[in-house]
Structure 1
Amino acid sequence: MMKNLAAVLGALVLSTPAFAAWAPTNYRCTFDALGSDQAYGRQKWAKRWQQGNPYSSTQWGGLDMRFWHSSYSLEANEAAAAATPVWLYPIYVDPNNMYAPWQGPGAYGSPTGTYTGAQIQYDVPGTYKPAAIQMDGLCEPGCYSPDQEILLASGPMGIRDALESGQMDLVTLTPDATFTALTFMDNQVENYTLDRDAADQELVTFHTESGGSLRVTTQHPLVVPEGNLKRAYELGVGDRLVTQDGKFDTIVSLEKSVEHTRVYNVRPVSTDLTSNIVVAQGFLSGSQRFQSEYVDEINRLIIRDNVPDSVVPFNP
């Protein structure tokens, strides 16, 4: 399990005074979406030029933290060292333009939009990024394969079809839902996310005792009976998922595969943790927020039986 992953969308600010003046509140990784290979290249590029220091910055002892801030290195290194590596990549803002997002190398529509990870790492000069542009946080690629159904107010629909037809009526848990009172509400979609291009994706398909199945990327967060979330790669035969009616459904088999496809995700407009639990293929699953600004909340108990917040374990 990755712990203490740096927040992407506003839970953290960078640690030095130069970076601490502004905290992002609703940055969308979809503005700068990368596939896994490009994410690898972006991270390596940023670390390369942090040390290369092309603008001769003296503020950080010969490093240029505007490319890659070292406060993110532990989280990124833990993610890269996981059983299934995840390449968290830096995103940037322009402090001279009201902290507007700035697309880094590999971003769609940019001069380097078609570059591979290796080309980003080795062929993009440090001066590609203007000196003032600074790192804002981390994004993570990845989630559902396109045929997986999410629950809408009108009923289940494949997530790709929901995106392409503009469906906005997402069903999520209510903020006060517990296992003894699993209640749902009609929510609204804030946005869908998807990989910019088809790429080789590591997927896992779970088959459960009830006859259900769910196919997601290995990094996708799923609700487990303890009331928190685990990433798909942490689950195996004998572990249990949670169905939308609150039953615990044992995994009886699973298959891992690599498929050349795009993967999708969705996030609601609500921002509390519990109402960011959606229903996919009949199972409770974390929304896209748990792979961005809530990524460091995965170990926290999200669904419980009327336990006061003051006694809920929290892994900071």
Structure 2
Amino acid sequence: MSKSVFRIVLGGAAAIALFPTVAGAQTNQEWRCNIDSLIPSQAIVRAEWARKCGLLNNLVPAGPSAWVPSTTTFDVTFTPAKEYVESNTSRAYTGNSQGYKVNYYYAIAMYDATPILKVEAEATGPTTGFFKWNPAPTTVFRARPLYPTFETSLPAGSGTPLYPHPTDTTDCRFYRDTNGDAKGDTLYTGTSFYVVANCESSCYAPDQELLFSNGSVPISKAVREQQVDIITLTPDATLDNVQLQTNHVYSYTSETRDSEHLLYTITTEHGGKLRLTNEHPVVNSEGRMVRAADLKVDDELLRQDGTRERVVSVEKTTHFGKVYNLRPITRDQVTNVLVAQGFLVGSARYQNEDVGFMNRIILQRSVPEELLPQ
């Protein structure tokens, strides 16, 4: 079976992927996001840029008063949120599958799915007076913000890749890459541009080991070799009866160029060590999925054999290079728990589709046999 590099879009988000070639137009979306890979802070800049440029350059009539009532989202006052719709669909800065709605695409890039947001007129900046969908008190920010990527035509892979100016966020023009560094360097003078995918990033350090059927393997090596037999929890695993199974990798996430990442190095009392990005999900001794950044000394992690191990240090470090992640083919929360360095951690699914399960108990205790109906 041949191998290739590409992305698959799931629930409106795309992940950089490496796995056996499959048929379908989504292959090129995977590839496009792989080339235009951004870290979370860069993704936020891209999402803000796309919203601003859409508002300033593609509304008819122009101006803050050109809003229409949203059909999907409400303000905290329970009135329809104020939305803006791009006019020229061949020069749109926001996605196309939801009617070129500027605030809608900004919100799905920044926040977990929610029907209620705080709608406020901007007080400063180039989009002063325009209504923006800001977080409400109950809004959950995406662990991995999404960002649009562009080409000269639809679908993905059919046109020339386009990029915003690499440093000037006031410039709403597009640039072609002519020197092979996946950044815009030559002004694009054409008349059309399109969003061809929305993308997300990933989070294991390259030397972090995951448990596969043939033993623990550094994730960077697993990506290169495209290993498929990943070990995960069984669907019926519980907090006091941890069971493992051989599962299958649906996709790996990676990056095409090096960048700087903040990592948390978590060391436990018996010498265990995890190196993860701040948002990476880890299972604690309560069976709760928590962010690596929220762990502290004396917290306990859950090992693959069900035993607990105390955290003795949490250190922030930086890593310049690529980071990685994967998601199994299964979709339920329990079988998306992997084994890293002997500890139970969440797959990439917890940072996208199942981000709502962060800080929730996903491993329950078994019901005592004497309480089961006879």
Per the normalisation by structure 1, the TM-score is 0.72
How much does 1:192 deviate? 0.8
Question: Is this contact kept in 2: 1:53–1:62, CA < 8 A?
Answer: no
> 1:231–1:28: structure 2 CA closer, same or farther, 3 Å change rule?
farther
Residue from 46, 49, 58 that aligns with 2:50:
46
> 1:62–1:267: structure 2 CA closer, same or farther, 3 Å change rule?
closer
1:90 equivalenced with 2:91 (yes/no): no
> 1:249–1:28: structure 2 CA closer, same or farther, 3 Å change rule?
farther
Higher normalized strand content (fraction of residues):
2
Q: Number of aligned pairs?
A: 270
Aligned counterpart, 1:154: 214
Question: Is this contact kept in 2: 1:200–1:260, CA < 8 A?
Answer: yes
> 1:160–1:51: structure 2 CA closer, same or farther, 3 Å change rule?
same
Residue from 253, 261, 281 that aligns with 1:201:
261
Aligned counterpart, 1:111: 162
> 1:124–1:51: structure 2 CA closer, same or farther, 3 Å change rule?
closer
Question: Is this contact kept in 2: 1:171–1:278, CA < 8 A?
Answer: yes
1:284 equivalenced with 2:284 (yes/no): no
The code of the aligned residue for 2:111 comes to E
How much does 1:270 deviate? 0.7
Residue from 251, 262, 275 that aligns with 2:335:
275
Residue from 251, 259, 262 that aligns with 1:191:
251
Gaps of 5+ in 2: 1-8, 14-25, 69-82, 87-99, 113-133, 136-140, 175-190, 368-374
Aligned counterpart, 2:33: 32
> 1:145–1:62: structure 2 CA closer, same or farther, 3 Å change rule?
closer
1:66 equivalenced with 2:78 (yes/no): no
Question: Is this contact kept in 1: 2:84–2:101, CA < 8 A?
Answer: no
Question: Is this contact kept in 1: 2:208–2:340, CA < 8 A?
Answer: yes
The residue correspondences of 1:246-285 to structure 2 (distance < 5 A) are 246-285=306-345
> 1:38–1:265: structure 2 CA closer, same or farther, 3 Å change rule?
same
Q: Which has the higher contact order (CA 8 A, sep 6+)?
A: 1
Q: What whole-Å deviation, never above 9, does each CA across 1:6-57 have from its counterpart, x for those lacking one?
A: xx83299xxxxxxxxxxxx999877525222531331121221343251527
How much does 1:297 deviate? 2.0
Of all paired residues, the percent bearing the same amino acid is 32
Q: Give the Cα separation in 1 of the matches to 2:59 and 2:12.
A: 29
Q: Give the Cα separation in 1 of the matches to 2:12 and 2:364.
A: 23
Q: Give the secondary-structure state (helix, strand or coil) at the position aligned to 1:236.
A: coil
Q: Give the Cα separation in 2 of the matches to 1:55 and 1:62.
A: 8
Q: Give the Cα separation in 2 of the matches to 1:211 and 1:219.
A: 22
The code of the aligned residue for 1:280 comes to A
Q: Which one has the largest radius of gyration?
A: 2
Q: Give the secondary-structure state (helix, strand or coil) at the position aligned to 1:301.
A: coil
How much does 1:279 deviate? 0.5
Question: Is this contact kept in 2: 1:244–1:282, CA < 8 A?
Answer: yes
> 1:139–1:234: structure 2 CA closer, same or farther, 3 Å change rule?
farther
The residue correspondences of 1:150-229 to structure 2 (distance < 5 A) are 150-229=210-289
User: In angstroms, what is the RMSD of aligned CA positions?
Assistant: 3.7
> 1:241–1:289: structure 2 CA closer, same or farther, 3 Å change rule?
same
